[in-house]
Chain A
Amino acid sequence: MATETLASPRPVPRRRMAGQGRLGTLRNWGILLVLWEIVGRLRLVADGALPAPSAILQRLWIDWSDYPPHIWATIEGASIGFLIGNALAIAAGILFVLFPLTGRLARGINIALFALPPIALSPILVITFSGMTPRIILAAIGCYFITMSATVTGLSQTDRRAIDIVRAYGGNRWKVLRLAQLRSALPSILSGLRIAAPNAVLGAILAEFGGGGRFGLGVYLIGSLGRGEPDRLWGIGLAATLIAGLAYGLFSLIAARLTGASRAVTMPAAAPSEARAKGFLRETMIVLASIALPFLFWWVLLYAMGTPAMIAKTPPALFEYLFLSPQSATNLGKLAAALAQTLPMTIIGMAVGLAFAFALAIGSVLYPVIVRAFMPVALVTQTMPLVALTPLLVLMLGRGHSVILWITVSVTFFPAFVTMAQGLSLVSRAALDVPRAYGAGPLKQLRLVTIPASLPYVFASTRLAVPRALLGVMIAEWLATGKGLGNLLNQSRGYLDYGMIWAVAVVSVLLSVVFYQLVVLIENRVLSKRGMSPAQ
């Protein structure tokens, strides 16, 4: 029996499979394109709001002379932001792993930076800085948390035995970091950079909307939005997507080159060490400090920038606006009403987005070809500026709940999917060989090994999805439904109600943080039962 299983070569030779996969992917892309062309030509979707690819290309050809300065401006903002944001992120990630206390203190700042909705930040940045700076900052913020998390995840999931070997040969903390941890973290960091790249492009474009500059794809989009030409909007969206896609592809390529050799071959047997709980008082102090730090940071930054008090609301000024001034009751009432509209949609959208990502991540193990064909579509929905996509979605779906749901799912899905798929693909081969040797099919292998082993990544992607879901809902509210926090933000912007702009920004951050902490709580329970450590 055993000999039989060994003799029949179940694992298909890898090279042949890869070749077939690539052909299959190409074929599927071809089918998708032809379908799209037919749908566009026959004006099947929303009476022509979805133009055929050939019409988009034709329009792109006509407009081509307009593009270069816009594309360069966007690339400049996005790439400088990408470099700065990721350099900071990797440095911070290393710091947090070397000195776990700093990580716990900076936790509040990290989550706040992550959860801050760019649409709330953009007008504030644009007033405070000029020229390219707001674009760079927003692009950098778009990269920071993802790469920082990926760095910490990679460093802390290092195989204990590799660390032990370096230690046994007298390696100090620095040597351990350099020889064992950084190497094993490389795939994780690279997959972080991969998601960060489209985010940087998106951040730069969002800032271009309010930047008042002359060039940039976002600027071009604004000019074209009023022209009622869906084929041009799609053209601009595709140009943005192409930039993001090239960046994504570049890092995928680097990742494939570098990580082929460093994939885990066996399973680490020991549970990762836990450095926690050194007394109640100390714990409380740390938690309180990590909550206070973002507020302090916010305050100091405004003070240092010298932004006029009418625009820049400090924490006490915001408190006054919400609780002490004569208009406080009205202000709070508006905020509460908006919150009641936004909250339920966020929760539903997040749940659907995550479920979809998980299903697809599992699909990517079972049917890699289908998923690879789907990837370009996913990337398009991800990088196609939502401001361009939303009007098209409205034409197809109307202005009800379904449009909010679609937008929310499309923004939460992609990063969640990449993180989960990575977790699934990092499962060690030896662990998979066990059920395989006993004749388990791919589904059983998934259930018994792959899914449980990738749990830390499932939780990590849930945490990633929280603020994005909120952002998606707010963008939909702002552009389509005219309800909730997104609409309140936009209206307050128009009325120069800076107190409300800050209030919405702070409330949405707090909301994200609460969600985030809930996920962390569940995560810690589940993972500690299984002897795993959370992917930070």
Chain B
Amino acid sequence: MKFAVDRRRFLTLAAAAAAMPMAARHGAAAEPFNFQASWINDAEFTGYFIALDKGYYAEEGLDVTYFSGGPDVIPESTLIAGKADLTLTTPDTTIKAIADQGAPFRIIGAQYQKNPIGIVSLASNPINSPEDLVGKTLAVPPVNIISVEAMLKTSGVDRSKINIVPYAYDPTPLIKGEIDASVDFTTNVPYTIEQAGAEAVSFLLYDFGFTIFNDTVVVTEDALKNNRKNITGFLRASRKGWNDNFEDPSVWPPKFADSWFKGTGRSIENELYFNRAQQPLMEHPDGIFAMSEESIEANIEALNAVGIAAKREHFDTSVLEDIG
């Protein structure tokens, strides 16, 4: 761990040092800002890595500390615990927490315009629509059960006719035929399945009625009031990082092989596949993180259909307007 901390420090320092002349021009000391990612280091966060390494955050006067996520990290919890200033979440859990428990969250942006979560199956036993699921075994991560049930409901498929089992983010049972389909990031798993010598097909829950964002950018109400400048700076710098990335999605992942992606157990080819696949799900005419009124409306509708009391006031577009 010592090694890891030192390395991370080193990278942050290096990035800060590279940005020093510009920071000096701004003439302000960098303010600490903690960012909690929603998963382990993979291509999902390329834009932030670029912004860190190229000193975009430092230009905004921010000293950003990056916390990796994982299956057990509940990003919203880190906001409540005060360990992070900003995090990425799935909108269904965030809004459920606001509505059911009065959690003081606001959604201020969306990384994915279309949720990359979908139903993945083998081409040899293809599942191309919700109807195909009847009589099959589907592995679902417990946190996504609501989303899946919503999709089934809007598609008019009887949930009791599908055998739903827990999914531990391991595609092996699918490849071996123990399950017929799994719910996972369509930007990622098909690659793994191809590597294992099989062919995958997939469809997005989004395209069958569950029209929600993913990796929604979330802060607390309090932070939105009192830390607005830094939040805006973070989002602006992050957008810059993402724009750099999508100029050519093949450029950046290999550069992080020995830094951000080191020791994750995943290959750079995998990250490249991911990075290319996510581009159409993220880009928006109004820029990365945009939340148009129509898509907010679509989110609210989809969530209301599953009994999550989403309201327009849970989304706050003012920071996006500030970035311009």
Contact = CB atoms under 8 A, between A and B. Distances in A.
Given A228-B170, A228-B175, A394-B173, A495 B265 contact: no
Contacts of B2: 72, 76
Contacts of B73: 126, 210, 212
B263 to A, nearest CB: 5
Interface stretch (A153-161, A214-222, A360-368, A372-380): A214-222
Contact of A225 (B41, B169, B188): B169
B76 A76 contact: no
A126 B80 CA distance: 12
Contact of B266 (A69, A214, A227, A391): A227
A349 interface: no
Nearest to A390: B168
Given A227-B265, A482-B164, A496-B77, A395 B172 contact: yes
Contacts of A390: 168
A132 B141 CA distance: 27
Contact of B165 (A73, A128, A310, A482): A482
A226 B1 contact: no
Given A72-B3, A213-B1, A215-B3, A495 B263 contact: no
B113 interface: no
A76 B74 contact: no
B263 A220 contact: yes
B46 to A, nearest CB: 16
B76 A496 contact: yes
Given A214-B41, A308-B82, A478-B166, A72 B143 contact: no
A110 interface: no
B28 interface: no
Given A228-B172, A390-B168, A395-B172, A496 B70 contact: no
Interface in A220-257: 220-230, 232
Contacts of B3: 69, 72-73, 215
Given A72-B1, A496-B96, A225 B170 contact: yes
Contacts of A122: 72
Nearest to B90: A494
A70 B142 contact: no
Contact of B68 (A72, A213, A481, A487): A213
Contacts of A480: 165-166
B188 A491 contact: no
B8 interface: yes
Interface residues of A, number: 66
Most interface-central of A123, A130, A490, A494 (chain B CB within 10 A): A494
B142 A394 contact: no
Interface in A295-335: 307-308, 310-311
B67 interface: yes
Contacts of B145: 491
A70 B4 CA distance: 9
Contacts of B78: 127
A494 B142 contact: yes
A426 B100 CA distance: 58
Nearest to B163: A399
A226 B192 CA distance: 8
A279 to B, nearest CB: 47
Contacts of A126: 72-73
B209 interface: no
A496 B165 CA distance: 21
A210 B72 contact: yes
A73 B72 contact: no
Interface string B1-27: 111110010000000000000000000
Contacts of A216: 1
Main secondary structure of the interface of A (DSSP, over half): helix
Contacts of A209: 70-72
A479 interface: yes
A211 B100 CA distance: 26
A143 interface: no
A391 B68 contact: no
Given A127-B77, A215-B1, A70 B71 contact: no
Contact of A391 (B72, B83, B172): B172
A479 B168 contact: yes
A387 interface: yes
Given A215-B1, A228-B175, A391-B173, A223 B196 contact: no
B93 interface: yes
A49 B193 CA distance: 15
A283 interface: no
B101 interface: yes
Most interface-central of B4, B166, B188, B195 (chain A CB within 10 A): B166
Contact of B176 (A49, A63, A73): A49
Contacts of A76: 1-2
Contacts of A232: 265
A127 B83 contact: yes
Contact of A226 (B41, B171, B263): B171
A215 B6 CA distance: 12
Contacts of B80: 127, 308, 310-311
A215 B82 contact: no
A85 interface: no
11 contacts: A66-B263, A127-B78, A127-B80, A212-B69, A213-B1, A224-B265, A226-B266, A311-B77, A479-B168, A482-B166, A495-B100
Interface of A: 46-49, 63, 66, 69-70, 72-73, 76-77, 122-123, 126-128, 130-132, 209-216, 219-230, 232, 307-308, 310-311, 387, 390-391, 394-395, 398-399, 478-482, 487, 490-491, 493-498
Interface of B: 1-5, 8, 36, 40-41, 67-74, 76-78, 80-83, 93, 96-97, 100-101, 103, 141-143, 145, 164-166, 168-173, 175-178, 184, 188-189, 192-193, 195-196, 262-266, 270
